[in-house]
Amino acid sequence: MNENIEQLVVLQEIDLGIDKIDGQIESVQEALDSRIQALADKEELIKSLDSAVNGKKSEIKTLELEMEEKVSHVRERQAKMMQVQTGREQTALLKEIEDAKKAAKENEIKIIAIMEESESVAAEMKTEKNLLRGEKKLVAEETEKVRLAIEKINKQKQSSSEKRKKQASTIEASLLKKYEILRERRNGLAMVNVLDGVCQGCYMAIPPQRYNMLLRGDLMFDCPICNRIMYHEPEAL
């Protein structure tokens, strides 16, 4: 195999290893971020439940004031009954009293229903707060585990990065630049093996003559389809 190709193949193995390490870091961090976001969502839920409880308390207070006004109106109308002289006036007052009593009763029923709803929401909020407390403790523990895991992974990455730097220094600058451009444009894969005349990057067949020349191993060729740098290495049996 061409010496330049050999050096690039080794470099790509190192780079793919670094990519895998970066993927591990991202995966671990994403899992933690997901749990942190779940905490934030639960806190928002608790806030909305708290707001709902306060809203129901305000609604109850409004209904209680209305009910007090209606009860007061009933008393006032009942007191006035002693002063009226005609049956028509008594009938009108009796209707006012009955309407006010009915409205007060309706308010009382509404208040009871809202109080029950408020108690249900308050109970849900208490449950969510307890769950949140437990989740916060677990996330704090998980955060420390993730920190240690990433620290360990970064040590591996540092070692690989040093190997990469050393390996890259053995490669001609223009060739290294081409390799890095291809890696960026081809999803991290700049070097591709060719097996049975098929590029293992784009899985397209290359011209037979070029494949035969590639098998000789002394020249460097680009895939005519995906432009990656090709090499040939027999499959391990």
At residue 80, the pLDDT reads: 80
Can you tell me the distance from the alpha carbon of 236 to that of 2, in angstroms, rounded to the nearest whole number? 20
Residue 185 lies in a domain: yes
Contact by Cβ (8 Å): 139, 36: yes
Question: Which residues, listed in sequence order, are joined to residue 194 by a DSSP beta bridge?
Answer: 199
pLDDT digits (tens, 9 = 90+) for 131-173: 999 999 999 999 999 999 999 999 999 999 999 999 999 999 9
Looking at the fold, whether 162 and 227 belong to one and the same domain comes out as no
Looking at the fold, whether 166 and 184 belong to one and the same domain comes out as no
Looking at the fold, whether 165 and 219 belong to one and the same domain comes out as no
What pairing do the DSSP bridges indicate for beta strands 229-231 and 221-222? antiparallel
What is the residue-wise DSSP string for 167-228? HHTTS-HHHHHHHHHHHHHTTT--EEEEETTEETTT--BPPHHHHHHHHH-SS-EE-TTT-P
Looking at the fold, whether 24 and 105 belong to one and the same domain comes out as yes
What is the distance of C-alpha 87 from the center of its chain? Answer: 74
Among 126, 155, 171, give the residue marking a domain's end.
Answer: 171
- Per-residue pLDDT of the chain in tens (237 residues, 90 and over written 9): 688 899 999 999 999 999 999 999 999 999 999 999 999 999 999 999 999 999 999 999 999 998 888 888 888 878 887 777 788 888 888 888 888 889 889 989 999 999 999 999 999 999 999 999 999 999 999 999 999 999 999 999 999 999 999 999 999 999 999 999 999 999 999 999 999 999 999 999 999 999 999 998 888 899 999 999 999 988 776
Residue 236 lies in a domain: no
Q: Domain with 107 in it: what CATH number? A: 1.10.287.1490
Looking at the fold, whether 145 and 215 belong to one and the same domain comes out as no
Contact by Cβ (8 Å): 131, 42: yes
At residue 237, the pLDDT reads: 63
Looking at the fold, whether 75 and 110 belong to one and the same domain comes out as yes
Whole-structure pTM value: 0.67
At residue 70, the pLDDT reads: 86
At residue 168, the pLDDT reads: 95
Residue 153 lies in a domain: yes
Domain that holds residue 200: 175-231
Looking at the fold, whether 149 and 87 belong to one and the same domain comes out as yes
Written as six digits, the tokens of 149 are 């895991």
Number of domains into which the chain is organized: 2
Looking at the fold, whether 154 and 186 belong to one and the same domain comes out as no
At residue 134, the pLDDT reads: 93
What pairing do the DSSP bridges indicate for beta strands 191-195 and 229-231? parallel
Residue 1 lies in a domain: no
Looking at the fold, whether 125 and 192 belong to one and the same domain comes out as no
